[in-house]
Amino acid sequence: MGLLDGAEGTGLSSLLGSNSGPLLTGLVQMISNQPGGLGGFLQGFQEKGLGSVVSSWVGTGQNQPISTDQVTHVLGSDQVKSIAAQAGISPEAAGTSLASLLPMLINHLTPNGQVPQQQHQSNLLEMGMSLLNSLKTGTNG
């Protein structure tokens, strides 16, 4: 399954626009700083009742969508506000963009359908920036 499968034709790149870099950077930093890294981050979704949604992002099948309210519920409004401030947009716009970006980011960070055992911050940042570049260029990278 390609990186952008299911996103083609949705205008995701235009939705994220010039804010995609700061949003993605903030999201990747949040994952990196999470106790347990990516696994700990995903556990938060499972604990909030979104295990099947997150499993679809990690797995090799179709990514299930997540709503803005669900993103805010799991990440917390303070975290969404912080990422919004970093990107220079409203928390509502950040929540909407994060709901679109999260499934693709997690799918990209778990290319073999499983969460890597250990993920160093530099690796996460590198993989996140690779996703950002593929969104900008429209490749399936």
Within 8 A by CB and 6+ apart from 8, the residues are none
Looking at residue 70, which CATH number applies to its domain? Answer: 1.10.10.690
Q: What is the span of the domain harbouring residue 94?
A: 28-136
- Residue 48 belongs to some domain of the structure: yes
Measured at the CA of 132, the angle between CA 126 and CA 133, to 5 degrees, comes to 90
pTM of the full structure:
0.73
Q: What's the one-letter identity of residue 56?
A: S
Residue 23 counted as domain residue:
no
The total number of structural domains that make up the chain: 1
Least Cα distance to 16 among 140, 141, 133 occurs for 133
Along the 141 residues of the chain, how does pLDDT read in single tens digits? 333 333 333 334 444 455 567 888 888 888 888 888 888 999 999 999 999 999 999 998 899 999 999 999 999 999 999 999 989 999 999 999 999 999 988 988 887 888 876 544 456 656 666 666 665 555 544
d(C-alpha 64, C-alpha 72), whole Å: 17
CA–CA dist 13, 80 (Å, integer) = 20
